[in-house]
Structure 1
Amino acid sequence: MTVGISFDLKKNYPNEMKYSVDADCELDSMDTIDAIASALERNGNRVIKLGNARELIKSIEKAKPDIVFNISEGISGRSREAHVPAILEAYQIPYTGSDPLTLSLCLDKSMAKKVIGYSNIPTPDFRKIEEAEEIQKLYEMEIDFPIFIKPCYEGSSKGIRLDSKIKNISTLKKKTFKLLATYRQPVLIEEYLPGSEYTVGILGTKEPEVLGIMEVKSVAQSEKELIYSYEVKKDWENCVQYLCPPPISPQLESAIKKVAIDSFKALECRDVARVDIRLDKDGTPNFLEINPLPGLMPGYSDLYIMAKSVGMEYDVLINKILFSAIERYPHLRINHCKSLMA
């Protein structure tokens, strides 16, 4: 089987769009692409590195992959993660992962939380601020502090800093204005939850399963003050512990898994995702956000750590994602079965 890989590299991020120090933090390095390619090749596939959306348009008709392993984050706009899947659908080429609608929905944190709330899944109360003119209205809102603030259309802790936990209205106004100006997109103002934070890996589609639960625990701060910020992620070895599996009760583990799986299904994700969950003051797991394009860097990414904790090799993780996608396409499923028997 010929498998294409679509991706966006940090080194190709446009300089004119680097409005912040974390502008390219969601994009990948060539090391990750090479690792995925090797895992696919070791399973008998021919691999073509297709690149980003613009490169894909130029090469797709000539390359003619049977399926594309998509990890492309896109460059700009709240629908940027949907660019590659939309192109592939236009050419009727199968691909791994969620479809354009789900990818766009999940990237827009406010829209995702609306669906989650409608589905009766616990999530912190929130407000979306779209323009600087709305900042004045913050004084009129009944806001219970502390609250948490972050860009609305980002991931990988982009725009989240150690000062993202806000304790008063004047600081909120200043921080909101700064985020609007820096990231040029709406800002999400969210109820701050004081409990422990977990991230949950999920594989599959029709019957998704939890790969693992990982607790993100600060080594320098009290549990209640963990801010999983850009600064912390850059210096993670000195700032946090990753506990996988975490030391929690079976009841809490079950509750966390339920929120993760219910969120995955409500947002109609496919093949793979990672769900961030935090406990509220009563110890109830709450949905924070979901990443349907989670990092796959060997040795470092959350999914890699979870897979390793359950004895799953990196090659198996990558090919499980591929096999989950193949199940959606009958012609690929038949051909794949024939290749396994050959």
Structure 2
Amino acid sequence: MTKHLTIALIYEEPSDYHNHGHSPAAIAHLEVGAAAPAIAAALQSRGHTVLRIPSIHALVARLATHEAQSWDLAFDITEGVYGPAREAQVAAMLEAYQVPRTFSDAATMALCLDKGRTKMVLEHFGVPTAPFAVVHFDEADPQRELTEEEIVSMMHASRHAKTLLANYPLFAKPLAEGSSKGIAVANKILSAEQLAPVVNALRASSPSSLGVMVEMYLPGREFTVGIAGTGADAWVVGVDEIVWRKDASAKPAIHFTTEKSKSSDDWNGEADEIKVSREDKEADLACHTALRAWRALRCRDGGRVDVRMDASGIAHIMEINPLAGLLPRWSQLPLIAEHNGVTYDELINHVVQSALERRSPKTV
């Protein structure tokens, strides 16, 4: 049995960042921190003492006083504000101070935010993921749009370029964003003529973006798999399917997650998220593939993996979420858990118990 612990809950309160001079645009993506009150309540229900730390600035101040030496664990749900490794910044600080924390280490957090590098590692381990190429904006003149020839030239750095350019439709997405940021109906590229307009539109909509990933479009079913635990002890909490509504009033019909649907109640009327039994062969394959990816990337404690089927029924990893949303009755991981008989308090406790396995025996 776990003793009552002192747990530092590190999150991002937008008002705290505003007070430190961050612009509304810079902190608009901060979402995971909304779950802080619910997480605190779940931890306190187990008898733990919760210390709320609402920003990286507050964390720096507390680390400077050596207060962290009295913490048994840090429950870290920070997304970061700036930089390509922003989700790893607090993790790296805690590692430097040898403070045990929840979720994946800094290296994995940084890796999983970069969709291109994540797919490189998945390919190395033989985990299916759609063929892809990356268009890096730092190699381009920021004062003008990229031409189709320039985009194709950058895509040719990928060994998949010939396959991609000969097999439309393709799909484009920002290289390092979460929550389907930047995804809209137009991101499905039907022909070569649409390639440059879509890439340039993504570049214009996110001036700070590192680039765009262009991958083969997967026309099959889409699943999101909830996972808890670490390494060999990791297990599938459950799997939901995203089912696109066949509504004649929907113009145009949408068959993939967009930024608007992901951030709206009831998927903006475009889809339903439903529990799927693992007796469904494609759902079960999605779960096995997701677990392979989770272990290959060395993810820890809890998160989500998004999977989509190709035309042949092969499950491909779309995205790995080592920092999944945890807002009750809203975020996908708690919903998956609820669909499979795991209460919110139990889910949070699973995360804590998995993290404690990395501590010395005296803490348990």
Structure 2 partner of 1:187: 212
Retained in 2: the 8 A contact 1:244–1:305? Answer: no
Structure 2 partner of 1:18: 25
Retained in 2: the 8 A contact 1:204–1:270? Answer: yes
Partner-residue secondary structure (3-state), 1:201: strand
Q: Please state how far the C-alpha of 1:173 moved relative to its aligned partner.
A: 0.5
> Matched residues, percent identical?
33
Q: Does 1:299 align with 2:324?
A: no
Q: Please state how far the C-alpha of 1:121 moved relative to its aligned partner.
A: 1.1
Q: Please state how far the C-alpha of 1:306 moved relative to its aligned partner.
A: 1.1
Return 5+ residue gaps in structure 2 as ranges.
154-160
Retained in 2: the 8 A contact 1:193–1:281? Answer: yes
Structure 2 partner of 1:340: none
Structure 1's 239 and 272: CA in aligned 2 closer, same or farther, altered over 3 A? same
* 2:191 corresponds to which of 136, 147, 168: 168
Alignment TM-score, normalising by the size of structure 1:
0.90
Q: Please state how far the C-alpha of 1:235 moved relative to its aligned partner.
A: 3.0
What's the RMSD between the two structures over aligned residues?
Answer: 2.1
Q: Please state how far the C-alpha of 1:233 moved relative to its aligned partner.
A: 1.9
Q: Please state how far the C-alpha of 1:10 moved relative to its aligned partner.
A: 4.3
Structure 2 partner of 1:102: 108
Q: Does 1:67 align with 2:67?
A: no
Structure 2 partner of 1:213: 239
Matches for 1:267-278 after TM superposition, within 5 Å: 267-278=297-308
Partner-residue secondary structure (3-state), 1:163: helix
* 1:255 corresponds to which of 281, 285, 288: 285
Q: Please state how far the C-alpha of 1:29 moved relative to its aligned partner.
A: 4.8
Structure 1 partner of 2:57: 54
What amino acid is aligned across from residue 245 of structure 1 in structure 2? V
Return 5+ residue gaps in structure 1 as ranges.
337-342
How many correspondences in the alignment? 328
Matches for 1:93-172 after TM superposition, within 5 Å: 93-131=99-137, 132=140, 135=147, 136-139=149-152, 142=162, 143=165, 144-172=167-195
Retained in 2: the 8 A contact 1:147–1:165? Answer: yes
Matches of 1:71 and 1:111, distance apart in 2? 22
Q: Please state how far the C-alpha of 1:51 moved relative to its aligned partner.
A: 2.1
Q: Does 1:39 align with 2:51?
A: no
Retained in 2: the 8 A contact 1:194–1:225? Answer: no
* 1:200 corresponds to which of 196, 209, 225: 225
For 1:40-82, what per-residue CA distance to the aligned partner results, in whole angstroms no more than 9, with x for missing partners? 0110100011122222111232354211001101011111111
For 1:196-238, what per-residue CA distance to the aligned partner results, in whole angstroms no more than 9, with x for missing partners? 110001100131000010101122469x941200111233412
Q: Please state how far the C-alpha of 1:271 moved relative to its aligned partner.
A: 0.6
Retained in 2: the 8 A contact 1:195–1:279? Answer: yes
Structure 1's 279 and 309: CA in aligned 2 closer, same or farther, altered over 3 A? same
Matches of 1:9 and 1:154, distance apart in 2? 20
Retained in 2: the 8 A contact 1:52–1:84? Answer: no
Q: Please state how far the C-alpha of 1:283 moved relative to its aligned partner.
A: 1.2
